[in-house]
Amino acid sequence: MPKPLKELLDPRQAAESVASTQVWKSIFRHGYPDSPRNRALTMISNVFLHLHPIRMKKHGLRLRYTWCMGGLTFFLFLIETITGLLLMFYYRPTPEYAHYDMQYLREDVPVGITREIHRWAAHAMVITVWLHMFRVFLTGSYKPPREFNWGIGVFLLVFTLLLSFTGYLLPWDQLAIWAITVGSNMARATPFLGHEGPGASLLKIGDLNLVHAGDDAKFGLLGGRFVGAPALLRFYVLHCVGFPLLLATLIAVHFWRVRRDGGISGPA
């Protein structure tokens, strides 16, 4: 057998000869990752993998310790970003079109499970954030030096819920507008800032109420007295741009700090 053919048939040699081509070397700055040196290089020379350390304590690898919940939350966030982008091709955030576009997505778009994946992954993400927080609490991982990252985490939790909440309105069906109505009705009871909140009626100049249904916290949230076209647009912008950007930024900080604080927590 000619030598090149023999090399190709032996997987080990084949891998090594691929790893020594100019193309491979231009992409990966290391040889085939089977030596400690090359495995370390794999982790640090790849922008995505370098989130991880080169080596870590064994207990931190165990599923029974981290439940991989933070990682899965991040993975679900990525799935949401991709499917969300696809959904945006088909969706117009106005009362005339929103519900119609949803029906179209449901019935006519080929391989029509994008909306399903987006919706179920959103539910799942809320659950995984909670379980991640649960795990972090039960392993005492908020204790020094990780106090700050725990705080970042609390904001991640809040923004995950708000991201989900703003998305809830977009189908523009009965479920959507009434759920958002129930939710946003709480805002009108904000102390001092909502027109049905304690203290709001004390804020007046002469007979003029400063806080009323036309300018209170609920109005600011919805862009109107009721859930209508301005609310839909607001929620759409926040859902597709505002909260994802906020979340992505905070996740970057969160991951950075996990590394800076010494990696996955462990016994002293």
Indicate whether 212 belongs to the interface with another protein (CB under 8 A). Answer: no
Which span sits near ligand HEM by CB under 6 A: 15-23, 98-106, 131-139, 169-177? 131-139
166 binds, among another protein, ligand HEM, none (CB under 5 to 8 A by kind): none
| Residue from 102, 105, 122, 133 in contact with ligand HEM (CB under 6 A) | 133
The residue among 24 and 74 lying less far from ligand HEM, judged by its C-beta, is 74
Look up tokens 């996990």; give the residue: 258
Please state, in angstroms and rounded to a whole number, the distance separating the CA atoms of residues 173 and 182: 14
Please state, in angstroms and rounded to a whole number, the distance separating the CA atoms of residues 56 and 149: 19
Indicate whether 171 belongs to the interface with another protein (CB under 8 A). Answer: yes
Site string for ligand HEM, 152-191 (x = CB under 6 A): -xx-xx--x-------------------------------
Contacts 24+ apart (CB under 8 A), 130-137: 130/157, 131/67, 131/69, 132/67, 132/69, 132/70, 132/73, 133/157, 135/66, 135/67, 135/69, 136/70
Indicate whether 92 belongs to the interface with another protein (CB under 8 A). Answer: no
**Quick one: which of 193, 175, 37, 12 has its CA closest to 99?**
175
Contacts 24+ apart (CB under 8 A), 193-198: 193/217, 194/218
User: How many residues in the chain?
Assistant: 268
| Residue from 33, 224, 242, 244 in contact with another protein (CB under 8 A) | 33
5 binds, among ligand HEM, another protein, none (CB under 5 to 8 A by kind): none
CB of 152 to ligand HEM, least distance (A): 7
Residues 130 to 159 in contact with another protein, rule: CB under 8 A:
130-131, 134-135, 137-144, 146-147, 150-151, 154, 157-158
